[in-house]
Structure 1
Amino acid sequence: MSLTLDEFLPYRLSVAANVVSQRIARVYAEQYGLSTQEWRLIAVLGEDGERTQLDLVKRTRMEKVPVSRAARSLEERGLVRRATNESDARSRRLSLTAAGRRIYERVAPAALEAEAEVLAELEPSERAVLRSLLERVERTTIRALKRNP
């Protein structure tokens, strides 16, 4: 048995994710100078509202250090507010400022347009199958990680 990268699922997923992310990054990177990690935090906070940094780690599946760096950067730019978590003084709760909310409201529709462009060659039924398959792969992988950390 030999490894053929073009047929190896982790490689294909990584390449596809990178290409799609690069396309969508044009929207937030060029216009607002945001990194992918910063945009992810803004997107989650825009959709979910105030969250702890640990919540953001879990939701984005990013490591703690990149989440912390992105949060600090966004706070310095006045896009995110960090406050002490009343239930755990060691933890911080993050929320979008008015400026962060404005960026979210401008970028989200443009990101959706970019996503539509990426998926344009797929039929609606194929898009649904793709999402379903990706969700199943994610769930299976998460279960495997929990069994074999």
Structure 2
Amino acid sequence: MGLDTPQRLDELLLYRLNIITRTSSLPLVRIFEGELGITRREWHLLALVAEQPGLSPSRLAELCWLDRPRVSRALHTLRQRGLIERQAAPRGWLALPSASGRQMYEKALARAAAYNRELVAGLSDVELSALDRALHKLQQQVQALAPDTAAASTPARRHAGGTRPR
């Protein structure tokens, strides 16, 4: 029993990761929204634009695992706040960080990195290294499984197509 043969909810890897993520992300939400005035979604987009300037809105949507309209709204907000700029491209536009966007990114990243250090402080160097290797392997496995999983089933969405399941 355990992660490889779960028999209970708390033995499911994704459940445990979700609990860690949900519990640990609240302080970051308070930092981003309370101190910096930016949502997690806007932070994620700003970080991608700062780290990989020149991405299209469609590519940003792929990298954030979000639909294009949500990403477009968040990008619009970031542009209104002067955190990103648009660069014309043959097929639309590309997002670039503004000077104030880069400053916001660096400030938010420093705060997130400090929290990250606190989060992993209870792990030894050996445990951190093992966790890093395990997460890397899990990411590779997810990427290998993703095409098969996506092809095998479509997600059940509430009221998809305007009909309710009965």
| Bin for the TM-score computed over the shorter chain | 0.7 to 0.9
Q: Distance in 2 between matches of 1:121 and 1:133?
A: 22
Q: Distance in 1 between matches of 2:145 and 2:118?
A: 28
**Per residue, is there more strand in 1 or in 2?**
1
> How many equivalent residue pairs?
145
Q: How does 1:1-149 map to 2 (within 5 A)?
A: 4-84=8-88, 86-88=89-91, 91-123=92-124, 124-148=128-152
Moved more, 25-34 or 36-45: 25-34
Give the superposed CA RMSD: 2.3
TM-score for the superposition, normalised by structure 2? 0.74
Q: Distance in 1 between matches of 2:27 and 2:74?
A: 20
Gaps of 5+ in 1: none
Q: Distance in 2 between matches of 1:57 and 1:39?
A: 13
Q: Distance in 1 between matches of 2:60 and 2:119?
A: 26
Gaps of 5+ in 2: 1-6, 155-166
**Is residue 24–residue 115 contact of structure 1 (8 Å, CA) maintained in 2?**
no
Q: Give 1:125 deviation, angstroms.
A: 2.4
- Partner amino acid for 1:143? P
Q: Distance in 1 between matches of 2:108 and 2:66?
A: 21
Specify the structure having the higher radius of gyration (Cα): 2
- Partner amino acid for 2:106? E
Q: Distance in 2 between matches of 1:147 and 1:63?
A: 18
Could you list the per-position Cα deviations for residues 101-135 of structure 1 after superposition, in whole angstroms to 9, with x for gaps in the alignment? Answer: 11111111221111121122223223323422441
Moved more, 37-46 or 108-117: 108-117
Identity, % of aligned positions = 25
TM-score for the superposition, normalised by structure 1? 0.81
